[in-house]
A = this chain, B = another copy of it.
Amino acid sequence: MDHRLQARERLRKLPEAQRAAWLDIAEDEFMAFGFEAASLNRILARAAISKGQAYYYFADKGELYRAVIERAFDEFVDLLEVAPTEPENTAAYWQQIAALFGKVTTILQRNNRLAEIGRGIYREARAQAAIVDLLERLHTQLARLIETGQRLGAVRADLPLGLLTSMAFAALREADQWFALNARDHDQQTALALNRRVFTVFAAMLAPSAGTCTTVPPATSS
**Chain A residues in contact with chain B, CB under 8 A?**
34, 36-37, 91, 94-95, 98-99, 101-103, 105-106, 109, 123-126, 156, 158-160, 162-164, 166-171, 173-175, 177-178, 182, 192, 194-201, 203-205, 207, 209, 211-222
Measured between alpha carbons, how far is A103 from B174 in the docked complex, in Å? 25
Query: Does B159 contact A198, Cβ atoms closer than 8 Å?
Result: yes
Q: Report the nearest B residue to A193, measured CB to CB.
A: B158
Of B37, B174, B207, which is within 8 A of A167 by CB?
B174
**Assembly stoichiometry (copies):** 2
User: Considering the chains assembled together, what is the distance between the CA atoms of A213 and B216 in angstroms?
Assistant: 15
CA distance A125 to B219 in the complex (A): 33
Taking the closest CB of chain B, its distance from the CB of A54, in whole angstroms, is 22
Give Cα distance in the complex from A205 to B216, angstroms: 14
A200 contacts across to B, CB distance below 8 A: 209, 214, 218
Contact A213 B215 (CB under 8 A): no
Known: A203-B214, A207-B214, A216-B91. A106 touches B198 (CB 8 A): no
Closest to A172 in B: B167
